[in-house]
Amino acid sequence: MRQLLRFARVEAVCCLFAVLFFVGLSLSRVAPLPGWLSPYDALLVWCLGVTAVLWRTGWETTREVGVIAAFHVVGLALELFKVRQGSWDYPGEGVLEVGGVPLYSGFMYAAVGSYVCQAWRRMDLRITGFRFRSTALVAALVYVNFFTHHTALPDLRVPLALALLAVTAGTSVWFTVGAERYRMPLAQSFVLIGAFLWLAENAATLLGAWRYPDQASVWTLVHPGKLGAWSLLVVVSIVLVASVKATEGRLYGHPTDRPSVLGRRPAGLLLSRAEASPPCAPEPARLR
């Protein structure tokens, strides 16, 4: 139980950017604003300020801010297309928007990138058995499918999910909680993060960050099918962060990632304590 609580505390710290986003979202709905400043524009200013403060204080490194910016662009492009297709909309108005999409929306995706970067550093993440090029290819196809399934092409989310399971088979994420070293199947981490993003999406739509067509008259729970979409989109953020960690030498497992002594699994924790031999040495050749 102590390990579970310690794990939850570290996870909460890693979510600081996301927490501050929701703080800004809440304040933009209740705080008095000057007539020339819309809630959407105020939220954009807030997000820019949060990013600047986290960078200046060293909470986010320069490279991590770069990853966050990249995922902001990736998310904003998806937002522009989806809003044009009528998948969801933004009921409010603002000056700082493009194609009906307020510019703050990219920070919702940036929060995911921030979480992955923070978790990687604070829990000393390493990956073993990672097929970088294959996983990156599936991630690219996942992203493209979010656009193409609105055309005459079929929705390939299920085949892509199966492909993702295939390319990540045998891939493990190693991380530290306190003095213990744990491992988790990489595919399982996609599902867990996707589930939390689905919960966050429900909170965001409740606060009016955006709305789906079935929420136009009254708020309803976001369809559970979105959980799968978020789980797939997490792959894009993992690949973006992994490309940076590879240049830092912090991507693959190494001999110092020794597993902990075999012990009882913490109750209720969906991860397993390392029971095998130490993870393999760095595998830079897989990036070539």
Two structure tokens written together for 173: 């994420």
Give the number of other Cβ atoms within 10 Å of residue 115's Cβ.
22
Q: Alpha-carbon distance 107 to 111, whole Å?
A: 6
The pLDDT of residue 246: 77
pLDDT mean over 14-43: 89
The pLDDT of residue 32: 83
Q: 130-189 pLDDT, tens per residue? A: 888 899 999 999 999 999 988 878 889 999 999 999 999 999 999 999 889 999 999 999
Of 3-12, 33-42, 165-174, 244-253, least confident by mean pLDDT is 244-253
Residue 222 backbone class (left: φ over 0; alpha: ψ -120 to 50; beta: rest): beta
Domain boundaries, the chain: 2-287
Dihedral sign computed on CA atoms, order 156, 161, 165, 168: positive
Which of 112-116, 154-158, 162-166, 263-267 has the highest average model confidence (pLDDT)?
Answer: 162-166
The pLDDT of residue 279: 41
Question: Rounded to two decimals, what is the model's pTM?
Answer: 0.81
Of 33-37, 139-143, 251-255, least confident by mean pLDDT is 251-255
